[in-house]
Structures are given as structure tokens and as C-alpha cells.
Amino acid sequence: MSSANKPRAVYFALLAIPVLMIGLVMLQRDLDTSLSMLPRDRPELLLRSGTTLKRLSLGYDPLLADIYWTRVVQYYGSRVGLPKATFNLLGPLLDITTTLDPKLMIAYRFGAIFLSEPGSAGAGRADLAVDLVKKGIAANPEDWRLYQDLGLIYSIHLKDYQKASEAYLQGSKIPQAPIYMKVLAAVVAQKGDEMETSKLIWGEVYATTQDKLVRQKALEHLQALDAELDLKRLNQGSEDYWRKFGRYPTTIQELRDAGLSGEKLQDPTGHPYVMGPNGVPQLDPQSPIVLDLDKKIR
């Protein structure tokens, strides 16, 4: 190769490479658009047996459990709140995580809440949540918090107040269990279906959990329950208004002017209550609170 060719190759490179790079940037932008059209959110769980994974982990099962736990959080976080979100893999992922590390308490507590939650907030599989928490209790019989979670699933989601009371009572017998476990056992047995009981249960979850997502979910339930109690009271005022004036109020202000509204006219997130058709008070459409559909106002 002649020496004259050397600079020629370098000059060619200096000219051609920038031009080609511009082409590459333009192509990459087109590719970004094309790739964004492909569904990238594909749930995958190739190996569903935690026991097999434990064997394959060659003794690194706690580390693998941590990786799977991270996957649980990512899986849930990427779906929660989406209109048609499904959580089919949440149960298997939590099962694998807790098989790899049976002492990973956060996984049981997370699963108790989010496997049970219906709608777009969870898997709506209270049965799987019960199985998971029972598995946790078998591996960690000294931890009263799992009994608290079991009681919550039975009372809030499965409406089985007898079993819920038994779970709270069983947990209250553990030496470190707080006194309110006994109180919950009694209250759930007597007044399980009342909103005040639900408030008590979620209030204790809110106070005792370390998990931010669980705490947020407990807060949302507490706010919804407060709003439900407020709406119930306003609805009673609306009925009184009808008896007094022979018609339903059309606005909350009318109810207030008649002295039948009480003091609380805003939901716990600060949005004012509004009057719906036939004098039925409602949440502001802008309010982030989601009411429990099981609990009718009237």
C-alpha cells in the first residue's frame, strides 16, 4: 500500500464517518418509534417452581430471593393503576420469593395486601393471600404480624369474621403481640361488618407496616372509610331534609343552610362533597378516593 493512500483513507474516514453518524442518529429515532409500538411489557416466569430454583441457586438462594423480591415490586409497580391491569404472576412470584427465603417477612405482608386487593390495585385473589400468609406463619410461627394480616384478609376481603377473629386471637397469644390483637379478635367477632371495625383494622396496618406501598394502600382505605362515613352522615341529613321540606336538597349548601350537614363537608383529600340526583351525596368527580363498592350509602 502506497504512503499516499494512508492520508487518503484518513481523509475519507473524516468525511464519511460524520455523515454516516448523522444517518445513524436519524435511523435510531425511527427505530425508537418502531420499538415503542411493540408491546414490551410481557410478563414472563419461565420457572415456576421455587423448590427447583432453590436447588439451582447453588446455595445463593437468599440472594436469588432478593432478586425475585425486586421483581415482585417491579411487576406490581409497573401495572398498578392501569385500567386493565392483571396480576396473574404476582402469586407465583411471591411464592418463589418466599420459598427461596422463608424469613422474608416483607414478601408475606406485601402479598397479604396486594394479592387480596380487587380491581386495578391487586390480583383479587384473597385465597392465594391466605395460602401465602399461612405459609409464612408455618415458617415464622413467632411473628404475630402475619396473624394480623390473616385476620385482615378474612375480615375485609372474605367477610369470614369467625375465622378473622380466630386469627387475631391466635396471634394475640404470641408473647410480643400487642394488646390490640385481643381487642380486634373481640370486635371482629361481634361487629365484623361495620365500617368502624374496618377502620380499626386498616389503622393498625397503617401504624405497623414498614412497606411504603402497603402503608399507602392502608391510608387509601382509611380515607375511603372516612369518606363513606361522611357520606352516610350527609345522606342521613338529606333524608331529614326531605322529611322537613318535602323534597331532597339539590346542593350540599342547601343542606348546610338547613343545619343538617354537620361540620365535615370535604373528603379526607380536601375535595368537597357534591349532591347527586335524588339528594344522594357523592364524592367530587376529581377526588382520588375510591369507595368500597360493597358498602352502599343508601
Partner 1 sequence: MSVIPGIVAVNTFREAVRDRVLYNLIFFALLMMAAAVLVGGVSIGIERDVIVNLGLSAISLFGIVMAIFIGVGLVHKEIEKRTLYSLLAKPVQRWQFLVGKFAGLLLTLVVNTALMTVGLAAALFYVTRKFEGSDGTIAVAIYFILLEFAIITALALFFSCFSSPLLSTLFTLGIYVAGVFAPDIRDIGIVTSSSAVKAVAEGVYYILPNFHNFNLISAAAHKEAVPFSLIWQNTSYAALYVAVILIGASAVFSGRDLK
Kindly list the residues in this chain that would bind partner 1 in the complex (CB under 8 A).
1, 5-6, 9-10, 12-14, 16-17, 20-21, 23-25, 27-28, 30-31, 34-35, 37-39, 42, 44, 46-49, 52
Distance between CA 77 and CA 90 in Å, rounded?
Answer: 11
- Which residues have CB under 8 Å from 71's CB, separation 6+? 93
CB of 53 to partner 1, least distance (A): 10
Is the CB of 93 or the CB of 218 nearer to partner 1? 93
Is the CB of 56 or the CB of 138 nearer to partner 1? 56
Is the CB of 28 or the CB of 86 nearer to partner 1? 28
Compute how many other C-beta atoms are within 10 angstroms of the C-beta atom of residue 10.
10
Q: What Å distances lie between residue 252 and 149, 176, 205, 258, 278, CA to CA?
A: 39, 48, 33, 10, 12
CB of 2 to partner 1, least distance (A): 10
CB of 188 to partner 1, least distance (A): 39
Q: What Å distances lie between residue 170 and 33, 157, 166, 272, CA to CA?
A: 57, 19, 6, 42
CB of 212 to partner 1, least distance (A): 19
Is the CB of 9 or the CB of 207 nearer to partner 1? 9
What DSSP state is assigned to residue 122? Answer: S
